Chain A
């Protein structure tokens, strides 16, 4: 009985198994048939290959998208670049061909050797670049003599060009040939094209995927020696998107040139409401055009080893103790906590004693009796020392973070650093040590562990003077025909009365007789600026130096104080915020404030905030489609 059932099941199994088996047989036959079809019937286009010919799928590089400023002024464009290429397969003796070419245009020996080496490494039908950036005369000379130069051809490519040179180097960045690593991490076949350029830094890097465009293709039939016989199929490349920046190129150039009076400095001008960055300068810079087509080793070494770091964008990557520019943070934290009000006065004898230590005010004789407004105006250290012991580091650090310190922003530059806002938890984690009250005191005037970038200082100022909106700085306005949308800035909850007090202090810093930056006030009516000076100690002042009265400007450059200034304008209705850091500039009021004054005056005269960013501007010369 059981056995019979088993037999039934086995039979049922067999029947269905045969159905499946037949199906499998069918699939096998189908696959074999498809193979035969591919290799014989359909293969008229593949048959040429069987006769030792080859169909080349040639990629056509797209033109890289332009980068323009807010008014459409080009900051990165493509210039025509004529190159001489040689295809090793098409000449009997490659070296002889190169020697013949040498008679017409100048090619150095090193280049010849490099071409010969490349020829050995790559398939013999791939073109190798022998010379580039030829002028018209060289092009025509080679063109005329082509019959005597087997394997040689002229190719018109494109070369990135930066019209503003070093003035926009740190914002725009530069492009370079895609590296092996690029090719491996990114599977885009475009990167395998010889000399294909990708963004290496700045906006060129962050916006690379938009600027790059899409490859075109052409399927060409080639004969035994690799000569193209005919084109079978062609698809045009698509140019990369144009990127419109918030930058005002003229202001940017002005800022960069203004910084040239210093040895090493950086500055930012931004919109306090929208977050648009109008100028972002870091001096010294470099001419990005030198990087195109490969910078020489010596020149690169020179840039790399310079102690003023021309390759580094100090406006976003330089981290400095904020010094007295931090006092607004301490003031707002204290007002917020309710430990002071407008009527709270303190006496400054020139120092502040706490525990066993004595903390000096920058002014030897002291400031006398000051409140929060006059303490900001005259930058009295003692007042803030005292405040800090009542507020505590926790609330100071919290306020600093609300204002954007210790944070990186949406800004489309990868080189941004985050600075440092220290507190008890941070120190325990980092050093496994408790926080000392004395450290709160020096933190209150932006010294000690505290670090901020010029960008953060500009954002901090913007967030105070716009009434406590968490504005974020940004550079990219449009990508192609798309507008990059920014959300509504959150409110960070500052009391308008406290903001008014602090801004009155900042106004007085510049516009009151005894303010620390009075010498740098703007006198044009309606354009007055407010701000705060800062002088950040780089090296501790020793007792002996204090006793001997050693002046800071007499020390070696790298030991001098950093000079800082944060400002805004106009005071009546703030629209622009600015920060300036002069490395080792000795004094905020003497070195940084004058720069800020010029920048804030210039930006108000140009008033970029009043004009809309361009959407459509005609293509400029040199931006034609790739041939």
Chain B
């Protein structure tokens, strides 16, 4: 077999295009289109300022995704570690000199574009861990020293992102990482002990939290206590969701959203806006699309014949699902308000780019599922 893009045989560009998972591309486009519709509505029936930009970004990134999918998996395998360390370095740079955005240091300027290294890190961690576990034997997975080195891959970005401070993103990175340890075959007792220790550590975490974070937790536990302060978001979001009913209020007719009762309607609360206008039917539609995407990822991971691809596809699928779950649970008042967007629906360039890079890698795993990857 040949490396990279070759014009003949199985490596042929046209051959690869033919076997690309077009079903997944369709599902992703469907989800993105839902986002465009909602953004169009969020702007009061205008393409500006959100929908138009989101659409042009999508056109660029989806092409990027297809290119990523067609690049040989061995290439991604080789750059897993370097990419991880570059992201780690960028995170450090942001922590030291980053520009201030929303009261936290998260951005870095590279020429004309702004990058959020914590976003890239979400993909980088999964890649690095996949590579690490790829060469592991069943014996390795029971070796404490081996596992601890793997944990280091998680701890470093967790600390850097958490101190930005962006507890939401750092939490998601760790959650995805824990799932990867689990599927890679780490002993079960570790997870049980970890859960127990977590319960014990909760009081300590509480004292380390920022005031605004504490307030979010408290308000979540009893949103009625502060209906006009921090509980305002949750209350308004629930009213919007509930008032959508079975069929929704109709396109562009969401009163909660359009009378500005709904905060951050173009980003964190975009799902609320969608459901208010399209009702239970619309909500279930989006959840089904998400479910199908997850099923796709699951299927891709299972049929991959090398460990790297299995872990990579599965990790990225889990990553995506965690984002969706947290966002939807948040707007429904099931968990406290954390600033986590709905991937592909929410307005925002970096987040969309990260998600599509992730899907591109997933597809590359599937396209190259039979490629032979050496142990080292």
Contact = CB atoms under 8 A, between A and B. Distances in A.
B245 A189 contact: no
A230 B305 CA distance: 65
Nearest to B282: A35
A10 B182 contact: no
Interface in B202-248: 224, 227-229, 232, 235-236, 238-239, 241-246
A31 B259 contact: no
Interface stretch (A16-24, A520-528, A534-542): A16-24
Contacts of A35: 241, 275, 280, 283-284, 287, 332
A47 B246 CA distance: 11
A85 B115 CA distance: 50
A46 B280 CA distance: 14
A28 B290 contact: yes
Nearest to B375: A2
A34 B243 CA distance: 14
Interface stretch (B11-19, B22-30, B294-302): B294-302
Interface string A27-64: 11001101110111011011101100011010100000
A46 B240 CA distance: 9
Chain A: number of interface residues, binned into ranges: 35 or more
Contacts of A43: 242-243, 245
A1 to B, nearest CB: 12
A364 B38 CA distance: 85
A314 to B, nearest CB: 37
B243 A28 contact: no
A111 interface: no
Contact of A34 (B184, B185, B334): B334
A233 B235 CA distance: 13
A55 to B, nearest CB: 7
Given A17-B183, A24-B321, A189 B232 contact: yes
Interface string B175-213: 000010011110000000000000000000000000000
Interface in B229-285: 229, 232, 235-236, 238-239, 241-246, 255, 259, 261, 275, 279-280, 283-284
A190 B232 CA distance: 12
Contacts, number: 119
Contacts of B235: 57
A49 B243 contact: yes
B302 A54 contact: no
Given A31-B287, A32-B287, A35-B332, A49 B259 contact: no
Given A21-B298, A27-B325, A235-B227, A38 B184 contact: no
Nearest to A32: B287
A217 interface: yes
A24 B294 contact: yes
B369 to A, nearest CB: 12
Interface in A1-23: 5-6, 8-10, 12-14, 16-17, 19-21
B314 A17 contact: yes
Contacts of B283: 32, 35, 39
A20 B239 contact: no
Interface residues of B, number: 49
B242 A217 contact: no
| Interface of chain B, main secondary structure | helix
B17 to A, nearest CB: 28
A123 interface: yes
A224 to B, nearest CB: 13
Contact of B318 (A20, A38, A123, A235): A20
B47 to A, nearest CB: 23
B143 interface: no
Nearest to B302: A14
B245 A215 contact: no
Interface string B318-344: 100100010011001010000000000
A217 B314 contact: no
A546 to B, nearest CB: 58
B239 A13 contact: no
A44 B327 CA distance: 25
A217 B227 CA distance: 8
A494 to B, nearest CB: 43
B126 to A, nearest CB: 14
Given A28-B287, A34-B332, A16 B310 contact: no
B257 to A, nearest CB: 13
Nearest to B245: A50
A21 B296 CA distance: 11
B94 interface: no
A55 B137 contact: no
A47 B332 CA distance: 17
A13 B310 contact: yes
A5 B334 CA distance: 43
Contacts of B229: 189
A189 B260 CA distance: 12
B310 A10 contact: yes
B244 A39 contact: yes
Interface of B: 137-138, 179, 182-185, 224, 227-229, 232, 235-236, 238-239, 241-246, 255, 259, 261, 275, 279-280, 283-284, 287, 290-291, 294, 298, 301-302, 305, 307, 310-311, 314, 318, 321, 325, 328-329, 332, 334
Given A12-B138, A35-B287, 4 more contacts: A31-B325, A35-B241, A35-B332, A49-B243
14 contacts: A9-B137, A9-B138, A10-B310, A12-B185, A13-B307, A27-B321, A27-B325, A31-B334, A35-B275, A42-B242, A46-B242, A46-B243, A57-B236, A215-B228
A-B complex: 7 closest residue pairs judged by Cβ atoms: A46-B242, A49-B243, A50-B245, A43-B242, A16-B183, A38-B242, A35-B283
